[in-house]
A and B are shown apart, each in its own frame.
Chain A
Amino acid sequence: MLWYKSWLETRWRFLIGLVLLICSALSTVFTYPQVMKLLPMAQNLPVNGEIGRRIREAVELSRDFRGYVWSNWFRQNLSQTWTLFAVLIGTGGFLSHSSGGGTLFTLSMPVSRTRLLGVRSTMGLIELFTLAFVPSILIPLFSPAVGQHFAVGSVLIYSVCLFVAGSVFFSLAALLSTMFSDIWRPLLIALAIAIVLSIVEQISQISFGIFHVMHGESYFRTGALPWAGLLASAALSVALQYAAATNITRRDF
């Protein structure tokens, strides 16, 4: 029944995220023919600096469908929206009044706090994997409709990269939720950290970093999985969950 409660607590956040991402994935596929028509115009845009470089890179990548999907979907739309929902789903938990109250009622149940947190986190991770995989799998399914092809295996690899590395933001939000009883501070702090990291990675043009791992960039460019990044982010995520469990066990209500 703890699973049921966790589902009820997070279902709207999850379902809204799923609908948004499905719409976004379908739009990515079905706008490809228009993008192809606009490519020659975009090539000659008089924009310099970092923005110009990125536009030119996106144009180059969009010359084939594989590059277009990776650049627009896995690197941009999916990654940004998914991170937002990872933080939203990670925020709250059984401490938060904004999760529907009932903190003392939950704590009066014959269940350890660690188990309560474990169930909540597992439910969140299942939802997040669904958010990473289900909208993405629509791309290979609908690609033939625009005369293109995208490999299902690649979808699985990009989804796993996004899920494993991005779960750090989910775990961070979960940890912050054990420190603050409102929903806003964990949400804002975790989002702020995600935005700052993203900006730092873009500006510094480093070839490593959590968002690079989330995008599966090394797999796209070289076919190699970012094992080190995946392992490091998984370890960080586990550490954050452990800290959340320790915090919740010690806390007075």
Chain B
Amino acid sequence: MPDSIIETKDLHKVYDGVEALRGLDLSVPPGSIYGFLGRNGAGKTTTIKVLLGMSHPTSGQVRAFGLPAGSTEVRRRTGFVSEEKDLYDFMTVAEMIRFTAPFFPKWRADLEQRYLRKFELPADRKVKALSRGTRTKLALLLALCRGAELLILDEPTSGLDPAMAEEVLQALVAHVASEEMTVFFSSHQIAEVDQIADHVAIIDRGKTAVTGALDDLREKYQRVQMVFDGEAPQAQFRAPGVVRVQRKGRMLTVMASGGAEAIVDEATALHPVSVDVIPVTLKEIFLETVAAED
């Protein structure tokens, strides 16, 4: 098995003169649940389309399972749910399943029956008559039953109410817990990435801003907060890993992507009343990273 299930190097994609991807680097380890975070229009869907061969890269490398992305072999080993839950409106639920299954030699008939019951999918109803939530469940069933080694989900819970979103996420987590697979899912919902991902990449304007194991990121990213007697001084920090410095009244805050000790040393030299190192959430990492890019 390759070191990375998905690997992109300096990936560029230009659509009609607009640069959707500007040198994207990704490495998705096997067996991970990889959250792909970014604002709307950051390049998440474009990346997924390039991975599945729906769009052609302008330059750079993109591979899945060590194979050129977009090859039929990659698609045979991959389950996919699009953001729009794109299915055939003219088919019934049963027809959709009958249509999809023969393409995948490892189709899991046992899972098909299980998810039909669990998701309470109406076999004889046309896809166009399904609610958004039921449509999402059908799309998920069709992706999960492929016997795929990789699951690519583009905004899997978009348009769902919180209860339905939670149900879909729980089903996903339960499935991944019982099957050996890698999940690569895009989202702009930080809470859901925080809830189920173990690895994360944050992209902004087509470039990777942050990437790594979520636990490592939480460990690396810290906020150093200094309180002064009077107005906080204008300070330049030379320690590596400074993402952003914010000065407000008596308080000086440094967001660091590592090396908090060195920053604390520099901060102490400014003679603050107190210096605290505070852990940060994924949401804060996201906001600070994306803000820093602005």
Partners in one complex: yes
Residues of A within 8 A of B (CB): 1, 4-5, 8-9, 100-105, 107-112, 250, 252-253
Cβ contact of B86, chosen from A9, A104, A110, A250, cutoff 8 A: A104
Q: 23 A-B Cβ contacts within 8 A?
A: A1-B98, A1-B99, A1-B102, A1-B103, A100-B89, A100-B91, A101-B86, A101-B87, A101-B89, A102-B88, A104-B54, A105-B87, A105-B139, A107-B52, A108-B75, A108-B82, A109-B103, A110-B103, A112-B72, A252-B15, A252-B54, A253-B49, A253-B55
Residues of B within 8 A of A (CB): 15, 49, 52-56, 72-73, 75-76, 78, 80, 82, 84, 86-91, 95, 98-100, 102-104, 139, 142
A102 touches B72 (CB 8 A): no
Minimum distance in angstroms from B286 CB to a CB of chain A: 27
Minimum distance in angstroms from A14 CB to a CB of chain B: 14
A-B pairs with the 6 shortest C-beta distances?
A: A110-B76, A100-B90, A108-B80, A252-B55, A102-B88, A104-B86
Q: A4-B99, A110-B104, A253-B54 are in contact. Are A105 and B72 (CB under 8 A)?
A: no
Cβ contact of A102, chosen from B73, B76, B78, B87, cutoff 8 A: B87
A8 touches B98 (CB 8 A): no
Q: Which residues of B contact A109 (CB under 8 A)?
A: 75, 100, 103
- Taking CB as reference atom, which chain A residue is nearest B101? A1
Minimum distance in angstroms from A237 CB to a CB of chain B: 27
- Taking CB as reference atom, which chain B residue is nearest A103? B86
- Taking CB as reference atom, which chain A residue is nearest B88? A102
Within the assembled complex, what's the spacing in Å between the Cα atoms of A100 and B49? 20
Within the assembled complex, what's the spacing in Å between the Cα atoms of A143 and B208? 75
Q: A107-B54, A108-B52, A110-B103 are in contact. Are A101 and B75 (CB under 8 A)?
A: no
What 7 additional pairs, Cβ within 8 angstroms, besides A107-B54, A108-B52? A5-B88, A5-B99, A9-B90, A101-B88, A104-B80, A107-B53, A109-B100
- Taking CB as reference atom, which chain B residue is nearest A108? B80
B56 touches A250 (CB 8 A): yes
Highest count of chain A CB atoms <10 Å: which of B75, B98, B102: B75
A102 touches B52 (CB 8 A): no
A105 touches B54 (CB 8 A): no
- Taking CB as reference atom, which chain B residue is nearest A8? B90
Minimum distance in angstroms from B294 CB to a CB of chain A: 28
Within the assembled complex, what's the spacing in Å between the Cα atoms of A195 and B86? 36
Within the assembled complex, what's the spacing in Å between the Cα atoms of A252 and B18? 14
Within the assembled complex, what's the spacing in Å between the Cα atoms of A102 and B80? 12
A105 touches B88 (CB 8 A): yes
Within the assembled complex, what's the spacing in Å between the Cα atoms of A102 and B56? 19
Within the assembled complex, what's the spacing in Å between the Cα atoms of A105 and B97? 12
Q: A4-B99, A253-B54 are in contact. Are A105 and B82 (CB under 8 A)?
A: yes
B88 touches A111 (CB 8 A): no
Minimum distance in angstroms from B14 CB to a CB of chain A: 10
Q: Which residues of A contact B89 (CB under 8 A)?
A: 100-102
A110 touches B73 (CB 8 A): yes
- Taking CB as reference atom, which chain B residue is nearest A110? B76
Within the assembled complex, what's the spacing in Å between the Cα atoms of A5 and B87? 12
Within the assembled complex, what's the spacing in Å between the Cα atoms of A9 and B15? 30
Q: Which residues of B contact A108 (CB under 8 A)?
A: 52, 54, 75, 78, 80, 82
Q: Which residues of B contact A107 (CB under 8 A)?
A: 52-54
Q: Which residues of B contact A103 (CB under 8 A)?
A: 86
Within the assembled complex, what's the spacing in Å between the Cα atoms of A253 and B55? 6
Within the assembled complex, what's the spacing in Å between the Cα atoms of A130 and B170? 51
A111 touches B53 (CB 8 A): no
Highest count of chain B CB atoms <10 Å: which of A4, A102, A111, A112: A102
Q: Which residues of A contact B142 (CB under 8 A)?
A: 105
- Taking CB as reference atom, which chain A residue is nearest B53? A107
Q: Which residues of B contact A252 (CB under 8 A)?
A: 15, 49, 54-56
- Taking CB as reference atom, which chain B residue is nearest A9? B90
A104 touches B75 (CB 8 A): no
Q: Which residues of A contact B15 (CB under 8 A)?
A: 252
B86 touches A102 (CB 8 A): yes
B72 touches A111 (CB 8 A): yes
Minimum distance in angstroms from B17 CB to a CB of chain A: 13
Within the assembled complex, what's the spacing in Å between the Cα atoms of A110 and B65? 15
Q: Which residues of B contact A102 (CB under 8 A)?
A: 86-89
Q: Which residues of B contact A105 (CB under 8 A)?
A: 80, 82, 86-88, 139, 142
- Taking CB as reference atom, which chain B residue is nearest A112? B72
B103 touches A111 (CB 8 A): yes
Minimum distance in angstroms from A9 CB to a CB of chain B: 7
Within the assembled complex, what's the spacing in Å between the Cα atoms of A191 and B142? 38
Within the assembled complex, what's the spacing in Å between the Cα atoms of A9 and B78? 26
- Taking CB as reference atom, which chain B residue is nearest A4? B99
Q: Which residues of A contact B99 (CB under 8 A)?
A: 1, 4-5
- Taking CB as reference atom, which chain A residue is nearest B95? A8
